[in-house]
Amino acid sequence: MIKLHDLQFVPFIAEDEITTAIDKLAVRFNQDLEDKNPLFIGVLNGAFMFASEVIKRFKFDCEVSFVKMSSYQGTQTTNQVNELIGLNEEVWGRTIVVLEDIVDTGNTIEVLSKLLTDKGCKDIKIATLFFKEEAYTKKINIDYFGFKIPNKFIVGYGLDYNGLGRNLTEVYQLKSSNMTNLVLFGPPGAGKGTQAEVLKQKYDLVHISTGDVFRYNIKNATELGTLAKSYIDKGQLVPDEVTINMLNAEVDKNPDAKGFIFDGFPRTEAQADSLAKLLDSKGADVSAMVALEVDDEVLVQRLLERGKTSGRPDDADENVIRNRIKVYYDETAILKKYYQKEDKYFGVDGVGGINEITDRLSTVIDKL
Ligand code: AMP
């Protein structure tokens, strides 16, 4: 996630996907325009990056010009299209390729096309990297597009939000929800439950501990409890399908939540993927994985100590405890990489006083 001015944006189209789309467009330009000596007209400011990438892939004679028009103010498109500045080339009788970063209502290209037609252009082709077909209200044919995208506000790859974001090499979309969703991570005994209790008050979030939900179901001898018990007693993971369905149901019980603290979930990549999907369906995402880092031997001692009062059978047996820690490193620790790839992993020292550790976690959360 990135922040530009007051708004948050989440990744939408990756750089390699954009490159592939431009490669494909370039193949078509090279086929269609080989002996036409086209004049490429990039529409500033947004199209500078797209124009440069397309034009450097064109293998035949061509000319390049840039014009300036603007139809955007903030995130709302306006009907006002400014005048055209900067076209000094002779366009009469020529083949023109208008290069746009994005076509939405089509106001800009409609005005530009008319202007170019009035100046006697022979053939005007419209090429845009992004095409918001749903928002398009004009009749002019869009000859080339890289991506058809839904009617969302996007930034990056030349496109801006009030001046910022043009330099981003991938495309981001406006985050449609301002939920804060934390994955509280760390091995068993790291103190996730304790910290979750504090953080949920402090940030007004809903705390979901999958371990607690399983234990509740075991205590009440539900079908889910019976199913989960055999795994939990051995310190193994409950199968993904069961856990994911349960988690989805818990999230759906809280439609008005400002956000969630996920404690003990996700524990596998499949769970992480399903969480991303679930949150995406609410226009939200995982804000961060905050991980409590604690040494193994400290964990074993803490859990044995907790076992004296917690009544949890999986805390009473050192072998089960060690198996849970092993499962964490074998199966769960890969999620660190998963969230690191998204720049969302934050490790926090989990040894110290409760308040001290809360402060460390808050320093991370307050910056999100
Ligand atoms: P916890 O209270 O988080 O230590 O979880 C206790 C036990 O519940 C684990 O050892 C697993 O058997 C099971 N469990 C909790 N969360 C999950 C999960 N996300 N995926 C699979 N099993 C889980």
Q: Is the per-residue pLDDT at 313 higher than 70?
A: yes
pLDDT attached to residue 21: 98
3-state percent helix, strand, coil for the chain, nearest multiple of 5: 40, 25, 35
**CB proximity list for 97: less than 8 A, separation 6 or greater:** 29, 33, 38, 39, 40, 41, 125, 127
Q: By three-state DSSP, how is residue 129 classified?
A: strand
pTM, to two decimals:
0.60
| pLDDT, position 82 | 55
Which residue is closest in CA terms to ligand 1's atom 1? 211
Comparing 85 with 272, the larger pLDDT belongs to 272
Region of poorest pLDDT, from 144-148, 152-156, 172-176, 242-246: 172-176
Give the Cα separation of 242 and 265 in Å (integer): 12
d(C-alpha 129, C-alpha 165), whole Å: 16
CA 326 vs CA 38, 48, 293, 323, 331: distances in Å = 64, 52, 15, 5, 8
State the angle between helix axes of 15-32 and 48-55 in degrees (0 to 180), rounded to the nearest 10.
Answer: 50
Give the whole-angstrom CA distance, residue 13 versus residue 168.
11
At residue 362, what is the residue type?
Answer: S
306 is catalytic: yes
pLDDT range class, residue 178, cuts 50, 70, 90: confident
Annotated catalytic residue within 267, 302, 344, 360: 267
The sign of the CA dihedral 6, 11, 12, 14 is positive
Alpha helices in 175-268 (DSSP H): 192-203, 210-219, 223-234, 240-252
User: Is the per-residue pLDDT at 183 higher than 70?
Assistant: yes
Bond into 150 cis (ω within 30): no
Q: Is 166 a catalytic residue?
A: no
315, 304 Cβ separation under 8 angstroms = yes
| pLDDT tens-digit map of 253-262 | 998 899 999 9
Q: 25-61, pLDDT tens digit by residue? A: 999 999 999 999 999 999 999 999 999 999 999 999 9
Buried b / exposed e over 198-226, threshold 16 CB at 10 Å, is ebbeebebbbbbbbebbbebbeeeeebbe
* Closest CA to ligand 1's atom 8: 211
Res. 73: pLDDT tops 60: no
Dihedral angle of Cα 126, 131, 132, 137, to the nearest 10 degrees: 10
| Alpha-carbon span 56 to 310, nearest angstrom | 67
Mutation pick for ligand 1 pocket among 210, 294, 315 (CB with most ligand atoms within 8 Å)? 210
Pairing status of strand 39-44 against strand 95-103: parallel
Ligand 1 neighbours, Cβ below 6 Å, are: 188, 210-211, 214, 231-232, 235-238, 243, 264-265, 267, 271, 324
* Tokens at 278, concatenated: 């679930």
- What percentage of the chain carries pLDDT values higher than 70? 96
| Nearest residue to 288 (alpha-carbon basis) of 347, 222, 360, 213 | 347
Average pLDDT over the chain, rounded to an integer: 92
Question: 31 CB contacts (<8 Å, ≥6 apart)?
Answer: none
Mean pLDDT computed over 193-217: 96
Contact present, 125 and 96 (Cβ < 8 Å)? yes
Whether 122 is catalytic is no
Decide: helix, strand or coil at residue 57: coil
Name residue, tokens 């709302």. Answer: 76
pLDDT at 28 (0 to 100): 98
- The DSSP string of 346-358 is EEEE--S-HHHHH
* Token couple for 283: 């226009």
Query: For a pocket test of ligand 1, which of 234, 237, 325 has the largest count of ligand atoms closer than 8 A to its C-beta?
Result: 237
SS3 assignment, position 212: helix
Report the alpha-carbon distance of residue 67 to residue 101 in Å, rounded.
Answer: 13
Q: Closest Cα partner for 166 from 56, 78, 20, 50?
A: 50
